Structure 1
Amino acid sequence: MDHGARIPSGLTLDAFNIQQFRESSEATLARLEKHLADASIRGLELTEPAQLTRAARSLMTTEREHVAGYDEAKLNAIIDLYLKTGIQVHSPGYMGRQFSGTFPLAGVVDFVSSLVSQPSSFYEAAQLPNVVEKIMADEFNRFIGWPAGSFAMVTTSGGSLANLTAILAARNDRVPGSWSEGGAADHGRGRPALAVGADVHYSVSRTAGVMGIGEAQLVRLPLNRRHQIDVDRVVPELEAAQRRGLRVFCLVASAGTTSVSAFDPLRELAEITRERGIWLHVDGAHGASLLVSDELRWKLDGIDGADSLTWDAHKMMFTPAPCTMLFYRDKDKSRSPFHQWASYVFDEEPDVYTALDSGGKTLECTKRPMIMPLWVLWAMYGRALFAEKIEYLCRLTRDVHRILLAEPDFETTHWPEANILCFRYRPGALSDSEAHRLQIAIRDRVKARGTFFISKVDIAGPPPCAWCS
Structure 2
Amino acid sequence: MACPSPFPDGDFVATFDPRLFRESSETALALLEEHLADHSVRGLNLTDPAVLLGAARALMTTESRHVAKFDAKRLGAILDLYIRTGIPVHSPGYMGRQFSGVVPLAAVVDLVSSVVNQPSSFYEAGQLPNVAERIMAEELNRFIGWEPGTFAMVTTSGGSLANLTALLAARNQHFPSYWAEGTAAQGAGGRPAIAVGADVHYSVERAAGVMGIGAGQIVRLPLNARRQICVERARAALDEARARRLKVFCLVASAGTTAVGAFDPLDELAALARERNLWLHVDGAHGASLLVSDRLRDRLRGIEQADSLTWDAHKMMYVPAPCTMLFYRDRQHSLGAFRQKASYVFDEKPDIYTELDSGDKNFECTKRPMIMTLWTLWAMFGPSLFAQKTEYLCRLTKEAHRILESEPDFRTLHVPEANILCFRHHPAELEDKDVHRFQVAIRDRVKQRGTFFVSKVDVDDVAALRVVMMNHQITTKHFRMLLDEIRRAGQELLGTERTPHQRTGHE
Hey, what does 2:480 align to over in structure 1?
Answer: none
**TM-score (normalizing by structure 2):** 0.91
Distance (whole Å) between structure 2 residues aligned to residue 10 and residue 239 of structure 1: 70
Distance in 1 (alpha carbons) for counterparts of 2:13 and 2:374: 34
Tell me the equivalent position of 2:274.
Answer: 274
Residue correspondence of structure 1 range 176-255 to structure 2 within 5 A: 176-255=176-255
| CA shift in 2, pair 1:439/1:5, >3 Å | farther
Whichever residue aligns with residue 173 of structure 1, its letter is Q
Deviation of residue 317 (structure 1)?
0.3
Give 1:445 deviation, angstroms.
1.3
Q: Distance in 2 between matches of 1:11 and 1:399?
A: 60
| Residue 290 of structure 2: aligned partner | 290
Q: Is the Cα contact below 8 Å between 1:11 and 1:69 reproduced in 2? A: no
Report SS of the residue matched to 1:464.
Answer: strand
Counterpart secondary structure, 1:463: strand
Mapped to 2, the partners of 1:105 and 1:462 lie a distance apart of: 41
What's the counterpart of residue 141 of structure 2?
Answer: 141
Other-structure match for 1:109: 109
Question: 1:79: which partner in 2?
Answer: 79
**Any idea what the Cα deviations from partners look like across 1:22-48, whole Å, max 9, x if unmatched?**
111111101100000011111110001
- One-letter amino acid of the counterpart of residue 127, structure 1: Q
**Counterpart for residue 418 of structure 2:** 418
SS class of match (1:428)? coil
TM-aligned CA distance change 1:432 to 1:3, over 3 Å: farther
Determine the structure 1 residue equivalent to 2:316.
Answer: 316
Counterpart of 2:497 in structure 1 is none
Closer, same or farther: CA 463–454 of 1 in aligned 2, 3 Å: closer
Distance (whole Å) between structure 2 residues aligned to residue 229 and residue 456 of structure 1: 22
* Deviation sequence 1:307-364 (CA, Å, 0-9, x none): 0000000000000000000000000000100011111100000001000000011110
Question: Structure 1 residue 53: deviation in Å?
Answer: 0.7
Is 2:382 the counterpart of 1:389? no
Counterpart secondary structure, 1:15: helix
Task: Give the distance between the partners of 1:322 and 1:163, measured in 2 at CA.
Answer: 14
Q: Is the 8 A contact 2:173 2:336 kept in 1?
A: yes
Match of 2:355 in 1: 355
1:336 corresponding residue in structure 2: 336
Say which SS state the counterpart of residue 43 (structure 1) adopts: coil
Specify every segment of 5 or more residues in structure 2 that has no aligned partner in the other structure, as ranges: 470-507
The residue type equivalent to 2:28 in the other structure is T
SS in 1 for 2:463: coil
Work out the CA distance in 2 between the residues paired with 1:270 and 1:4.
68
Q: Does 1:31 align with 2:31?
A: yes
Q: Which amino acid in the other structure matches residue 384 of structure 1?
A: S
Whether the aligned pair in 2 keeps the contact of 1:433 and 1:463 (CA below 8 Å) is no
Q: Which amino acid is the alignment partner of residue 101 of structure 1?
A: G
Letter in 2 for 1:447: K
Q: Which piece of structure 1 moves more, 320-329 or 93-102? A: 93-102
Structure 1 match to 2:122 = 122
Tell me, in whole angstroms, the C-alpha distance in 2 between the residues paired with 1:279 and 1:57: 51
Separation in 2, partners of 1:329, 1:221: 24
Aligned partner of 1:173 in structure 2 is 173
3-state SS, counterpart of residue 99 of structure 2: coil
Displacement of 1:85: 0.3
Shift of 1:8: 3.9
- What SS does structure 2 have at the residue aligned with 1:310? strand
Partner of 2:402: 402
Rounded Cα–Cα distance in structure 2 between residues aligned with 1:468 and 1:145: 28
- The letter for the 2-side match of 1:455 is S
Instruction: Name the counterpart of 2:463.
Output: 463
Root mean square deviation, CA, Å: 1.3
Equivalent residue letter for 2:239: E
Structure 2 residue identity aligned to 1:147: E
In structure 1, C-alpha distance between the alignment counterparts of 2:346 and 2:217, rounded to whole Å: 35
SS in 1 for 2:424: strand
The DSSP-based 3-state class of the residue aligned with 1:187 is helix
Q: Which residue of 1 aligns with 2:151?
A: 151
Q: Do the aligned residues in 2 keep the contact of 1:45 with 1:450 (CA within 8 Å)?
A: yes
What is the CA-CA distance between 1:129 and the residue it aligns to?
A: 0.2
Matched letter for residue 12 of structure 1: F
Return the alpha-carbon distance in structure 1 between the equivalents of residues 429 and 298 of structure 2. Answer: 39
Task: Measure how far apart 1:7 and its partner are.
Answer: 5.6
Structure 2 counterpart of 1:296, one-letter code: L
Displacement, 1:10?
5.8
* Alignment-mate amino acid for residue 443 of structure 2: R
Supply the distance in 2 between the matched residues of 1:142 and 1:177 (Cα, whole angstroms).
35
Q: Is the 8 A contact 1:194 1:218 kept in 2?
A: yes
* CA displacement 1:70-107 (0-9 Å, x = unmatched): 00000000110000000000011101111221000000
Structure 1 Cα separation of the partners of residues 378 and 237 of structure 2: 42
Whether the aligned pair in 2 keeps the contact of 1:410 and 1:423 (CA below 8 Å) is yes
Shift of 1:462: 4.5
Q: CA deviation at 1:468?
A: 3.2
Counterpart residue number, 1:259: 259
Q: Identity of paired residues, percent?
A: 67
The Cα shift of 1:3 comes to: 6.1
Q: Distance in 2 between matches of 1:186 and 1:20?
A: 59
Answering whether residue 60 of structure 2 is matched by residue 51 of structure 1, we say no
**1:264 Cα deviation (Å)?**
0.3
TM-score, with length taken from structure 1: 0.98
The answer to whether the 8 Å contact 1:411/1:423 transfers is yes
The residue type paired with residue 239 of structure 1 is D
- Asked whether the equivalents of residues 435 and 462 of structure 2 are also in contact (C-alpha less than 8 Å), the reply is no
Post-superposition offset of 1:461: 6.2
Any residues of structure 2 matched to 1:295-306 within 5 Å, and which?
295-306=295-306
Using the TM superposition, give the Cα deviation of residue 429 of structure 1 relative to its aligned residue in structure 2, in angstroms: 4.3
TM superposition shift of 1:438: 1.4
SS in structure 1 opposite 2:16?
Answer: coil
Question: Secondary structure in 1 aligned to 2:459?
Answer: coil
- The residue that corresponds to 1:161 in the other structure is 161
Contact in 2 for aligned 1:439/1:466 (Cα 8 Å): no
Note the residue ranges of structure 1 that are not aligned, 5 or more in a row.
none
User: How many Å separate the matches in 1 of 2:120 and 2:307?
Assistant: 25
Shift of 1:465: 2.9
Return the alpha-carbon distance in structure 2 between the equivalents of residues 187 and 403 of structure 1.
Answer: 56
Structure 1 residue 446: deviation in Å? Answer: 1.1
